[in-house]
């Protein structure tokens, strides 16, 4: 599965599945079968997702609640940074 800050195709993020649970418009959650955790991503457009976090079944609600207010800001930053393709710096630099 993709690493935090990595921009991937929606198909890759979904791992070949046709859907992911969408908790909030623009926020996607899918299972990572290798780690057993859930990956959280933000839809940048119809075909691209940036991986922003990983969670367990125990803390997924908490992680989503903390990320929901940031979804639009994350989308805007990545769209603005698309020309430089410096996606990881945009997200990882915020920690």
- Which tens digit of pLDDT belongs to each residue from 10-34? 989 888 665 566 667 889 998 888 8
- The pLDDT value recorded for residue 95 is 42
- Cα separation, 9 vs 40, in Å, equals 14
| pTM to 2 decimal places | 0.77
For the residues 55-83, what does the mean pLDDT come to? Answer: 86
- Cα separation, 10 vs 16, in Å, equals 9
Q: How confident is the model at residue 78 (pLDDT cuts 50, 70, 90)?
A: confident
For the residues 28-41, what does the mean pLDDT come to? Answer: 88
- The pLDDT value recorded for residue 86 is 52
Whole-number mean pLDDT of the chain? 81
Q: How confident is the model at residue 55 (pLDDT cuts 50, 70, 90)?
A: very high
List for the chain the helix, strand, coil content (%; round to 5).
35, 25, 40
Smallest CA-to-CA distance from 3 within 28, 36, 40, 29 is with 40
């Amino acid at each position: 599965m993709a690493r935090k800050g990595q921009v991937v195709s929606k198909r890759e993020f979904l791992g070949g599945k046709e859907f992911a649970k969408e908790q909030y418009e623009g926020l996607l959650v899918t299972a990572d079968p290798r780690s057993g955790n859930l990956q959280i991503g933000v839809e940048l457009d119809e075909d691209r997702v940036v991986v922003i976090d990983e969670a367990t079944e125990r803390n997924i609600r908490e992680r989503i609640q903390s990320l929901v207010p940031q979804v639009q800001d994350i989308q805007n930053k990545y769209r603005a940074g698309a020309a430089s393709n410096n996606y990881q710096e945009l997200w990882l630099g915020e920690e």
